[in-house]
Structure 1
Amino acid sequence: MEIRALQAKATQIRMDLLQMIAQAQTGHTGGSLSNTDILTALYYRIMNIDPARPKAADRDRFVLSKGHSVESLWSILADRGFFPKEELATFSRFGTKLIGHPNNKVPGIEMNTGALGHGLAVAVGMALAAKKDSAAYRTYCLMGDGEQAEGSVWEAAMAGAHYKLDNLIGIIDRNRLQISGTTEDVMGLDPLEDKWTAFGWHVVSIDGNDMQALVETFEAVPAHRGKPTLVMANTVKGKGVSFAENVPHWHHHVPNQAELEKALAELAAAFENYEQKGQVR
């Protein structure tokens, strides 16, 4: 997909996930909206994946370490054909596979996540396995910024640098908000880029809601041979819905009918704008 088509696709995914959350009456809305552009760039442009062969040995691996923001991932996997889109209507219902965190019974999911701080360690293992097998696949791991308070993240960061895993790409959804307030009030993280640099990673800081910047950054990996890459994706929590952006309450807020209709109208207008400018397919 070209950039304009990716932007339109991300807008469509935001509409899908909002309707899914509203129907289920549960979900992590703000973080799913903030990470949608990142996931769209990866799943529609960057990663080597095949919905018809979800366990292919040469597939790129993706780990959603911030597993609570799974709604955008479910929407994308359904849209890509990993499972029927109709199953999104079962989100969080009794007996569904589409629970509130990634579930590896679903095609396209590499590991169960949700306990924050665990995803990067497993991603390090996946990347190390590829090195030992002389395999070409890459491993991508999306973390939350509040998750950086977990000590296991930094143990994994040390290991990634120690083993020179330049086939490993860590991404931080740096929206600066978590359920109990701003990240800097809950547990100060800055200067976060400097910390990852000190741990031996090649750090790139970008606007994580800028599709052009995301694509250019991911396509340049590995920008530094012998080092894992950390993409500091500075995002807006609640991105795409004007009245939800940068509002802590929307971390776990379920839109009511009036909010849903207003949000969908805003996103539909954005989608039409991308469509009118062409390149949407």
Structure 2
Amino acid sequence: MSENLESLRASAYRIRRFAVRMGEVQGQGYIGQALGWADVLAVAYKRAMQIRPTEPEWEGRDRFLLSHGHYAIAAYAALIEAGILPEEELETYGSDDSRLPMSGMAAYTPGMEISGGSLGQGLAIGVGMALALRHKGSASFVYNSMSDGELDEGATWEAAMGAAHHNLGNLICLVDINNQQADGPSGKIMGFEPLADKWASFGWHVQRVDGNDLPAVIAAFDQARQLPESKPRVILFDTLMGKGVPFLEQREKNHFIRVDPPEWQQALNILDQSYKEGSPA
């Protein structure tokens, strides 16, 4: 947990780059989410979580649940950055017999705790895991990574209520507020504001920060881990789909991205240039 700001900026840059390279393998993918969520993943895997890269099933590890299974391309990029998966394996993304299927599945991929994708399930699983870890006397945290589209699901709010009832201070929920889902803007499909007030009313400790502002992300993770109270914790991250690649940021619909073949290299060049110039992207 000693990674400094510059090191984490480099990690977020590499996570974005790994994700774009995987997208190029298939010519499509959930690249917008990966680019937007990269800063959160960098802090999670390189600063906040207790893990052993060479021992992904170490009993003392913190658990990271990818409830939104379609973010798998982002998770794989983070697992590569963390040293749990080898970089060369990204060339197999989405291919037959690959350990990197297009939706996250625990049976295939080291470091993947659950098979996500049926939205709204991850938090409920996280409640069970956190409760079990507490009964075992474990100091490990459970992180549940989820999308704002999952706020439409009743199971999410049942789990939120259960977490507060059981005083699960070892459960940290990370919500990507990018206001985009398959059918359109999340807030128009099902209005969810005032979101911080909703979570607080369910008995959670709530933070809301810019998920593409690394210092803010670091501070939010640190606070969530260090709270003395037994409440479950949620961090609401406002993120920008396609962050760091302007021609993807500006797309009206970027939930699932297909681009022309030359644009993959263009995206990588933009990320490289921004990193060299010291941009947050």
TM norm structure 1:
0.94
Who is 2:227 aligned against? 223
* 1:262 aligns with one of 251, 266, 269: 266
Who is 2:251 aligned against? 247
1:115 lines up with 2:105 in the alignment? no
Asked which structure has the greater RCO (Cα within 8 Å, sep 6+), the reply is 1
> How many Å apart are 1:26 and its aligned residue?
3.1
* 2:277 aligns with one of 268, 273, 278: 273
* 2:196 aligns with one of 193, 196, 206: 193
**Letter matched to residue 156 of structure 1:** A
1:96 lines up with 2:98 in the alignment? yes
* 1:134 aligns with one of 113, 118, 137: 137
**Letter matched to residue 78 of structure 1:** I
Is 2:28–2:259's contact at 8 Å kept on the other side of the alignment?
no
Who is 1:39 aligned against? 41
**Letter matched to residue 149 of structure 1:** D
Is 2:67–2:123's contact at 8 Å kept on the other side of the alignment?
yes
CA distance in structure 2 between the aligned counterparts of 1:69 and 1:110, rounded to whole angstroms: 14
After TM superposition, the runs of 4+ consecutive aligned structure 1 residues lying more than 4 A away are none
Which sections of structure 1, spanning at least 5 residues, go unmatched?
A: none
TM norm structure 2:
0.94
CA distance in structure 1 between the aligned counterparts of 2:86 and 2:227, rounded to whole angstroms: 37
CA distance in structure 2 between the aligned counterparts of 1:28 and 1:51, rounded to whole angstroms: 25
CA distance in structure 2 between the aligned counterparts of 1:130 and 1:253, rounded to whole angstroms: 38
CA distance in structure 2 between the aligned counterparts of 1:246 and 1:171, rounded to whole angstroms: 25
Structure 1 SS opposite 2:61: coil
Q: Structure 1 residues 192 and 273, CA, compared in 2 at 3 Å: closer, same or farther?
A: same
* 1:63 aligns with one of 57, 62, 65: 65
CA distance in structure 1 between the aligned counterparts of 2:89 and 2:266, rounded to whole angstroms: 25
Instruction: State the Cα deviation string for residues 78-106 of structure 1 (Å, max 9, x = none).
Output: 23222222111111111212101112131
* 1:153 aligns with one of 156, 180, 197: 156
* 1:238 aligns with one of 239, 242, 246: 242
Task: Count matched residues.
Answer: 276
CA distance in structure 2 between the aligned counterparts of 1:116 and 1:246, rounded to whole angstroms: 26
Taking the TM superposition and a 5 Å limit, the aligned residue runs for 1:166-181 are 166-181=169-184
Identity of counterpart residues, as a percentage? Answer: 37
Is 1:60–1:139's contact at 8 Å kept on the other side of the alignment?
yes
